[in-house]
Amino acid sequence: MPLRHPTALRRRTVEACRSLLSAARGLVVAVVVTAVALLGAAPAAAHTDVVFTLPAADETVVDPVDTITVAFADPVTLVGAGFEVFTPQEQIVQPVVVTDDDTEFVLQLDPPLAGGVVGVRYEVVAADGHIIDGSFTFTVTAPASAPTSTPATSAPTTTAPVVAATSDPLPATEVGAATTGAPITTEGVPTSETAVIATAPTTVIDDTGSGGGSAGLLVGVVIAAALAVGAVAILRVRMRRSA
C-alpha cells in the first residue's frame, strides 16, 4: 500500500474541520431561531380565557335566574363596562359583581331574569395586559313576572276648623251705658209711671261698620228723645202735686 503525501493528508483534515464548523454553526443558528420562536409564543400562550359559566353557554334553564357565574383560568381585572347582562325584555342591566380571587365572578341580579334569552358580555384585562372580551347566551323558559305598579300616594286631606259664631250678651252695665249716660231716678214717681219708664226698650249700638253705626246712632237719638219727653212729663206731674 503506497504512502500518502503529508500535504494531502493535512489538506483533507482541514476540510473536515471546516465541515464540522459549518455544521455546528447551522445547529447553533437553528437553536437560536427555535428559542426566539418559543419566547415570542410564550406571551400569547399566557392569555387567560373563560373556563366555565353557570348557566353554561347555550344552556336552557327552567327557573328564573338571579345569579350568573363566570370563571377565568387566571386572575383578571374588570375594565370598561366589566359585565353587562341583556335581559329577555331587551334591557341592559349592570349586575352586582362579587369575587374572592379575581378568577371566579358571581353576578347578582334583582329581580331574577326570566322569559327568554339572556345575554352576558364581559371585558377584562389579564395579568400580561391583554384585554379579553366576549359574550355568551342562555335561555330561561320560566315566564317573566308582570311588573308591579306602585300605588299612587294621595296627599293628606286637611279639614279647616269650623268656628261657631257666638253672640254673647253684653253686661248690664254696658247696656245701660249704651242707652243713656244719666241715671234714671224713679223716686216719688207713681208706680204706673215707673213701670212705663222701666219698660222702655234698650238698644245696643253696633259700631262694627259705617252703615250699622249710623243706624245705631239714629236709634239712640230716638230713644234719648223719648226718655227726655218722659222725664219732662214726670217733672210736670211732680210740679202739679207740689202745687
The tens place of each residue's pLDDT in the chain, 243 residues long, gives: 555 556 666 677 767 767 766 666 666 666 656 665 665 544 444 568 999 999 999 999 999 999 999 999 999 999 999 999 999 999 999 999 999 999 999 999 999 999 999 999 999 999 999 999 999 999 999 998 876 555 555 555 555 555 444 445 444 444 444 444 444 444 544 444 444 344 444 444 444 444 555 666 777 777 877 887 777 777 777 777 766
* CA gap 187, 184 in Å, rounded: 9
Nearest to 95 by CA among 68, 117, 71, 73: 68
Nearest to 110 by CA among 64, 141, 51: 64
* CA gap 61, 183 in Å, rounded: 107
CA angle (176 as vertex; 174, 181 as ends), nearest 5: 105
Cell of 102: 379575581
* Structural contact between residues 125 and 73, judged by C-beta atoms closer than 8 angstroms: no
